[in-house]
Structure 1
Amino acid sequence: MKQQRPFSYQKVFVIGSGFLALSLAWAFYNAYMPLILGDFIDSRAIRGAIMGLDNLLAVLLIPVIGAWSDKIDTRIGNRLPFIVIGMPLAAFSFILLPFASVSTFWILIFVDIIFLLAMTIYRAPVIALMPDHTPPEKRSTANGIINLMGGIGAIIALFGLSTLYGINRTYPFIVAGLLLLITFILLFFTVDRKPPYAEKAKDELGEALASNSFLALFRLLKMKEFRGHLFVLVAIFLYFIGFTGVESQFTVYAVEHLNMKESTAGFTLGFFSLSFVLFAVPAGILGSKWGKAPSMLVGLIVQPIIFISIPLIPLLGSIVPDINQVLLLQVMLFLGGIAWAFINVQAYPLVADLGGKSKIGFFTGLYYLFSMASAIVAPGILGLLMDLFTHSALFYGSAVTFVAAYYFLRKGHHLIK
């Protein structure tokens, strides 16, 4: 009789705490770093380009580090060496960011790059801990727990840490950095050095063959019969430009255009994340009934309508002086989070289905490539529109990307059917 390998939901929750801390740090960084950069740089395009640096590092380094952590074998296992280096370094550099911001621009950039590199070093290994400790039949449930904790981390960042930011700019960075350190300690003393479900990496020849097959499959997207698949990926690239641009530039819009307090701006953005977490499961259930692409198309119709409406709120305020503009903006963002749930919850399963069982890994790689590549250029593109036109161009430009994504997704889905 085959011996049952150990499994513990407690370890899944500890691993999820690592994802919670990671999501918390990223959500707060994306919301407030553009405002800190604003102390040195007026151009929203340049600020956006700097904000895209983390995504560039992710595209270049995360696959390499992830593969490296599959292969190495040390006394503390294969994932922990990266976590031991990355998490404490990320924690200390994150704590230093607000102090660097009152120094010189180049000291701020130096600390920022250290933080981004540190986060990149441990991101893939900490996420890979889940399948290392979880049997295949329980991974969907475990992944749901981890993603839920990631959503909670974003909510804590935008609601809780934003409140601290209003008291003192350094407090939320210190709290988030300490949380990263505590999470690191939990992970270090909880995860297995030799996880029960970790598999040996392929040998060098196998990796080379996989690389060649990946390039060959990528060329398939140029072929006529795979045009629908390409259109779906283009749609994902486009709407992620709109989403990431708003995520990274919203606080700039709220502070510079609406004269909102910095802490209130981050708190207001939290309503988008809150509704996404609340409606992710219902959106998934409806997607199962309606179909993945039809559900995404609904979201791609509603999202641009919401974004186009947001710049009209100040105009409405001038007509109806007694209206609470901040509350109305929070309501609109809450509705936007629901629309985003309809889009984003279905996206990866749709792409994973494109290749059938034999090409799931390939299309998973393409999904992250197209979505993360858009995040490199999005903050700069939307920031440039804000520079050239007005702050409101953030939402109008984002709306255009969702409309274009609707076109490509509908056309691609029609070609695949």
Structure 2
Amino acid sequence: MKVDNSFSYGKIFVIGGGFFALTLVWTFYNAYMPLILGDYIESRAIRGAIMGLDNLLAVILIPIIGAWSDRVDTSIGNRLPFLVAGMPAAAVFFILIPFGAAWALWLLIIVDIIFLFAMTIYRAPVIALMPDHTPPEKRSTANGIINFMGGVGAIIALFGLSALYGIDRAYPFIVAGSLLLLTFITLYFTVDRNPAYAGTAEEEAEETQAFQSLAAGLGKIKKPEFRGQLFVLIAIFVYFIGYTGMEAQFTVYAVEHLKMDESTAGMTLGFFSLSFVLFAIPAGLVGSKWGKAPAMLVGLILLPLIFVIIPFLHGLASFLPFGSETLLLQAVLFLGGIAWAFINVQAYPFVADLGGKTKIGYFTGLYYLFSMSSAIVAPGLLGFLMDVFGHTALFYGAALSFLLAFYFLKKGSSIINDNTAAISNSKTG
């Protein structure tokens, strides 16, 4: 294949800056928006339902916008118009969130909706910039850079921005919004107007793949020959309920139940993300050695055990020499992030392999469809459990979701193995 001289990893790092800013903003938003909504709304279920709005917009609108950005033709290319429309607006309205919250609930909701819509406008196009600028044989490495930048953004959000939140609620929004605006300016003057490898980027956007699988016929997965694959996808849907719900409601639990400082709550959640980033590569190596499904099953047993311990840490901390419940909770969440790495690092490659080489795109889309759909209902569902059974129900509900996922994954992988063995025996026979 002819390699374009315009390709450079330096440009990929700049594009990765877009994903860095995207992840920085989303991570902080997910951690602290439930607390801000709590100034006006007591119900955790209602707050959770509002938190699911961004995922609903993602599933509905982003595939349409991604496809539109594939086809539009302007003097500044096909991706940049969406960045121009979305990124500055998202930056401004993200900065306005704490000020809207200080004024009235109706103003906060209006600002929030405009912010979410602006993020939706540019999300798929900014992600598509990487494949636009990268030859296919280098996309795995480039995607590693992009995901690394996203991981750094999440860690900075939960440690750095959380510290600023403790000083003044508005400071982290101003800093994150300014970084998003600076990222837009950098991208605008860096990315190519007519990139050499444009044409397949629509396939790279996870929301687009989810939409395409739905449009192509979700009913196919109900066929008897795909029964094992369906169980695997159900497992992914179920455990993402536990993960997404815990992520969205953790700061509510920490602040309202443990009486933790709001900034400390965000930093404590950061230990979960930190350990996931640190152990993502080792977990991948373990999956290569043990097999993807066995590694996931280990994580699906370990993580619920870790979650059910958390409600008992308050009593346990009083018997320890340092007597710090916060420090103990951070250590337990760090272990939880390792278990999550065992699960999440293997999940997409495992699903992509389910249909063989001829159905990679179809099952990739189904993976994103099932995982993203769960994020719509998870914050509200676990928030409802907290409303009815108390704050600790967050971790019991999340643990139950992982145990149910263990059952479905084990059953699904067993059916797939049996079918594979039967096909192999029929060929040799």
Tell me whether 1:243 sits opposite 2:243 in the alignment: yes
- Uncovered stretches (5+) of structure 1, i.e. residues with no partner: 203-210
Q: Aligned to 1:101, what secondary structure does the other structure show?
A: helix
Match of 1:405 in 2: 405
Within 2, Cα distance between the matches of 1:30 and 1:67? 27
Name the structure 2 match of 1:147. Answer: 147
Question: Contact conserved, 1:24 with 1:157, CA < 8 A, in 2?
Answer: yes
Alignment CA distance shift 1:254-1:3 (3 Å): closer
**What secondary structure sits across from 2:406 in the alignment?**
helix
> Counterpart of 1:376?
376
Q: Classify the secondary structure of the residue corresponding to 2:259.
A: coil
Q: Residue 4 of structure 1: CA displacement?
A: 4.1
Q: Deviations over 1:76-114 (max 9, x none)?
A: 111111111111000000000000000110100000001
Paired residue for 1:271? 271
Shift of 1:358: 1.7
Query: Which secondary structure state, in structure 1, belongs to the residue aligned with residue 88 of structure 2?
Result: helix
Aligned to 2:70: 70
**1:208 alignment counterpart:** none
Equivalence for 2:426? none
Aligned pairs (5 A) from 1:193-232 = 193-199=193-199, 215=215, 217-232=217-232
Instruction: Give the match for residue 392 of structure 2.
Output: 392
The alignment's TM-score, normalised by the length of structure 2, stands at 0.93
Shift in Å at residue 224 of structure 1?
1.2
**What amino acid is aligned across from residue 190 of structure 1 in structure 2?**
T
Equivalent position of 1:205 in the other structure: none
Aligned partners of 1:77, 1:301: CA distance in 2, in Å? 48
Give me the whole-angstrom Cα distance separating, in 2, the residues matched to 1:199 and 1:15: 17
Give the conservation status (yes or no) of the 8 Å contact 1:21–1:176: yes
Identity across matched positions, percent: 73
**Conserved? CA contact 2:131–2:201, under 8 Å:** no
- Aligned residue for 2:352? 352
- Which secondary structure state, in structure 1, belongs to the residue aligned with residue 189 of structure 2? helix
Distance in 1 separating the partners of 2:327 and 2:6: 49
Q: Offset of 1:414 from its aligned partner? A: 0.6
CA distance, structure 2, for counterparts of residue 46 and residue 212 of structure 1 = 30
Q: Is the 8 Å Cα contact of residues 237 and 374 (structure 2) preserved in structure 1?
A: yes
- Counterpart residue type for residue 129 of structure 2: L
CA deviation after TM superposition for structure 1 residue 286, in Å: 1.0
Aligned to 1:52: 52
Q: How does 1:100-111 map to 2 (within 5 A)?
A: 100-111=100-111
Question: Relative to structure 1, is the Cα distance of residues 57 and 215 closer, same or farther in structure 2, using a 3 angstrom cutoff?
Answer: closer
8 Å CA contact retained: 1:71, 1:200? no
- 1:299-341 CA-to-partner distances (Å, cap 9, x unmatched) read 1010000000011101213455852110000001100101111
Aligned positions of 1:56-205 closer than 5 A? 56-199=56-199
**C-alpha displacement of 1:218:** 2.4
Instruction: Rate the CA distance shift 1:135–1:253 in 2: closer, same or farther, 3 A.
Output: same
How far off is 1:357 after superposition?
1.8
Q: Is the 8 A contact 2:242 2:378 kept in 1?
A: yes
Residue identity in the other structure for 1:135: P
SS at 1:137's partner residue?
helix
Q: Deviations over 1:183-211 (max 9, x none)?
A: 00110000000000012799xxxxxxxx9
Counterparts of 1:277-356 in structure 2, within 5 Å, are: 277-320=277-320, 322-356=322-356
Q: Report the CA distance between 1:297 and its aligned residue.
A: 0.6
Query: For the residues of structure 2 that align with 1:228 and 1:250, how far apart are their CA atoms?
Result: 33
Distance in 2 (alpha carbons) for counterparts of 1:2 and 1:402: 46
Alpha-carbon spacing, 1:350–1:389, altered in 2? closer, same or farther (3 Å): same
Deviation, 1:220, is 2.1
Gaps of 5+ in 2: 203-210, 418-429
Partner AA of 1:360 in structure 2: I
Distance 1:216 1:183, change over 3 A: closer
Q: How has the CA–CA distance of structure 1 residues 213 and 297 changed in structure 2, closer, same or farther, with 3 Å as cutoff?
A: closer
Measure, in 2, the Cα distance between the counterparts of 1:4 and 1:43. 55
- Cα pair 2:249 2:379 within 8 Å, conserved: yes
TM-score (normalizing by structure 1) = 0.95
* Distance in structure 1 (CA, Å) of the matches to 2:271 and 2:93: 28
Matched residue pairs, number?
A: 409
| Range with greater deviation from structure 2 (155-164 or 320-329) | 320-329
| Equivalence for 2:427 | none
Which residue number in structure 1 is paired with residue 40 of structure 2? 40
Report the RMSD for the aligned CA atoms in angstroms.
Answer: 1.7
Is the contact between residue 213 and residue 369 of structure 2 (CA under 8 Å) also seen in structure 1?
no
Deviation, 1:364, is 1.3
Q: What is the CA–CA distance in structure 2 between the aligned matches of 1:16 and 1:212, rounded to whole Å?
A: 25
